[in-house]
Amino acid sequence: MAHVAFIGLGNMGSGMAANLVKAGRTVHAFDLSQTALAKSVADGAKAFTSAAEAVKGAEAVVTMLPAGKHVRAVYEGEIFANAPKNAILMDCSTIDVATAKAVGAAAAGQGLAMVDAPVSGGIAAAAGGTLTFMVGGAEAAFAKAEPYLKQMGKAVIRAGESGAGQAAKICNNMLLAVGMIGTCEAFVLAEKLGLDAQTFFDISSKASGQSWSMTSYCPVPGPVPAAPSNRDYEGGFAAALMLKDLKLALEAAQGVEASVPMGAQAEALYQLFNGLGGAGKDFSAIIKLLNGSWR
């Protein structure tokens, strides 16, 4: 029976693979980590001993790997030579735009259809099947990928040709970082000026300062009960991952000579925060650096 090969079953990939199983797909899984592989087997996937073995006979291949170097190595070393020519290849990792384009071009050179399809939404969204996929690739490749991505997410949006998914992802996350730092600064200043945080929230969330960082993910505890600020900034989207995405954004900006001074400032602040031990905290914890309460 045709199957989906899934390579990279870490925090994100394990939930995504489990949702494909729940949707009725046969999943052939591979991860370098035996622990990760065992979890996916418990969720209903079949374990394989290499990416090459997992992709043999696959109708679709999904990868969810740490960075561009892993993606390049797995596709060029194992997937291209072993996946069937009619399989659709989907890389959902967050990687640099240049590598996404290079691997996409290499796939096309082998006669294989491929999309870059990074996600918005964290571990809970991966497990809950509510990710948003931003997809780069030819229209025909997108059409082949969409049914699989829909089984792992709530929204699947084509951003353009190969690499456009990664471009959309890093532009969004650079904006998110800048917006979060601005929101944190406003709450810190409001407090020093004697404004109650809830009162400032009630006003600004209905005024022109409103943003997702304020109304869905408020960096001070209280106004938005589901936000990580209410759980001592545990869970959520780690500052380490935000720094990774900002570095990708700056690298891409340099490549096309785009001016991103606020993005650069955000990168410097997250670098500082991570160096001071904040890497594992949710990225909204950067408010503690700004109000002087960090450690």
Separation between Cα atoms, residue 284 and residue 295, nearest integer Å: 15
Identified binder of ligand NAD from the candidate list 40, 82, 93, 183, rule CB under 6 A: 93
**79 touching ligand NAD, by CB under 6 A:** no
Neighbours of 203 (CB within 10 A): 13
Binding-site string for ligand NAD from residue 200 to residue 239, where x marks contact by CB under 6 A and - marks none: -------------------------------------x--
CB contact at 8 A, 120 and 134: yes
Q: Given the complex with ligand NAD, which of 66 and 222 has the nearer CB atom?
A: 66
Nearer to ligand NAD, 92 or 220 (CB): 92
Min. distance of Cβ 208 from ligand NAD in angstroms? 29
Give Cα 96 distance to the centre of its chain: 12
Nearest to 40 by CA among 59, 23, 27: 27
Q: Residue 177, CB half-sphere, CA atoms under 13 Å: how many?
A: 31
Tell me if 33 contacts ligand NAD by CB under 6 A: yes
User: Of 61-69, 80-88, 183-191, 209-217, which segment contacts ligand NAD by CB under 6 A?
Assistant: 61-69
**119 lines the binding site for ligand NAD (CB under 6 A):** yes
* Cα(177)–Cα(69) distance, integer angstroms: 24
User: Which run of H or E residues covers position 265?
Assistant: helix 261-273
Q: Specify the stretch interacting with ligand NAD by CB under 6 A; choose among 67-75, 194-202, 264-272, 284-292.
A: 67-75
Residue 39 is among the residues annotated as catalytic for this protein: no
Does position 65 interact with ligand NAD (CB under 6 A)? The reply is yes
C-alpha 41/C-alpha 293 separation (Å) is 43
Q: Which residue in the block uniquely carries the two structure tokens 């229209």?
A: 139
Active site residues: 169
Residues in contact with ligand NAD by CB under 6 A are 7-13, 30-33, 36, 51, 64-66, 70, 73-74, 93-94, 119, 122-123, 237, 241, 244
